[in-house]
Structure 1
């Protein structure tokens, strides 16, 4: 498959080499910041940077929108594609229908649309991630495009699902809870230990064991521990008193404790 990337951020950094290693050809990379596209192209075999969003003469059939959700419509409004091209976005939160609507409004030629969503957290600049065990959630506007995306997905991953936009939205919200929110809680825990001149490393064993148990259990609820799980109101009140000088953190502690207590009927 002849492919062009629009966007050279966290996802593109890992996905472009994975597709190339699976036998696909990356022709072009466009980024608003030329330096970013140059960095990505330097890791690819025969790709080159593309200076604008006019791809009318591109040899590519597939165009991958690897940009932020906020930038999607703006990019689509300026994008010029070859006739019968396939345009996919990689967003967890934006629907396929929205992409179809934008192409109907902004494109002068017929364009097939789809979604190629990799359910993983990516960081640009790190070693390239293997996609074998990364779930790929796909959706397409027509059967031919669906079959093409499934085949491409199976070239790089053993976990490929066809899901609707509504199902993908649910997965995306769940991923934010499990990934982004969890990492933020770790950040807050580290700041709290540093404030009291303690080593964050003291928490690493309990963090590691918590994640090990949660991932090993068929239901993480079965291995929940802590004062809120026990209904230990005295400890909760003591913790809230300790956090009295950090009202935002105390509010978060209260909300999380209330959620746990409610879940277990405490």
Structure 2
């Protein structure tokens, strides 16, 4: 398939290379920062840097918008597309109906729309095993949806048709599972660093915790710790220590302790 990207951030960086390795041609890359587009294009075999959002002469069958949610509308306002092209976004939260409406308002030609959402956290330079990444696909047109599914299946073994409401709820769950968890890792790292204790000591615990979750149907029975046990003497001592550190950490500790207590002890 012939594919072009709008955006040269983490998502575009990974998807473009995965598609190319699967035999697809990445025609163009556009970014509001031309240096980012040049860097991504240079990592691909035969890809041009698109200087602006005029794609009217592009050979691409699919143009993927891989930018922040807030930037999607601005892109659609400016983009010029070839007729009958497929335009898809990679957002977990923007609905297909909202996306379609924007395209109808701003596009002078008929354009097929779709969603190509990879459920993963991407960072440039971090290797990914794409076959395990879930892709959530949506389009109003069954033929277009089938083409997007076939594209996803060329790089992944986990491809699902999913409507906008389901995808939004999945994204909320992903924020709890990934974004919030990573922030807690960061708090833990900074707390130990403050006392000149190596964060490396926690990594076996983190691996075991994550592995338990991956092996479980329901992670709830795997919960451990003082709040789970109702060990309020220990939690009080923790809070006394945290009084000398960071007010945000105290608030986080209190909220999570209370929620664990309510979930396990108060029943």
Fold conserved (TM > 0.5)?
yes
* 1:130 maps to 2:132: no
Structure 1, residues 46-93: CA drift from partner, whole Å, max 9, x if none?
Answer: 111000001111111110001111101001100110111110000111
8 A contact 1:18–1:130 mirrored in 2? no
* Cα distance in 1 for residues equivalent to 2:125 and 2:243: 40
Aligned to 1:3: 3
* Cα distance in 1 for residues equivalent to 2:31 and 2:73: 15
Structure 1, residues 158-180: CA drift from partner, whole Å, max 9, x if none?
Answer: 10000011111111111111111
Aligned to 2:47: 47
In structure 1, stretches of 5+ residues that fail to align are: none
Aligned to 1:149: 148
SS at match of 2:114: strand
* Cα distance in 1 for residues equivalent to 2:162 and 2:263: 29
1:166-181 superposed matches below 5 A: 166-181=165-180
- 1:99 shift after superposition: 0.7
* Cα distance in 2 for residues equivalent to 1:208 and 1:3: 37
Aligned to 2:259: 259
Structure 1, residues 201-247: CA drift from partner, whole Å, max 9, x if none?
Answer: 22122222111212212211111001111122222222111111322
Moved more, 94-103 or 239-248: 239-248
* 1:90 maps to 2:90: yes
Q: How many residues align?
A: 265
* Cα distance in 2 for residues equivalent to 1:141 and 1:47: 30
- 1:14 shift after superposition: 0.9
**Ranges of 4+ aligned residues in structure 1 off by more than 2 Å:** none
TM-score by length of 2: 0.96
TM-score by length of 1: 0.96
Structure 1, residues 152-200: CA drift from partner, whole Å, max 9, x if none?
Answer: 1111111000001111111111111111111111111111111122221
The Cα RMSD (Å) is 1.1
Structure 1, residues 12-56: CA drift from partner, whole Å, max 9, x if none?
Answer: 111011111222111110011111111111111111100000111
1:28-47 superposed matches below 5 A: 28-47=28-47
8 A contact 1:13–1:125 mirrored in 2? no
1:159-238 superposed matches below 5 A: 159-238=158-237
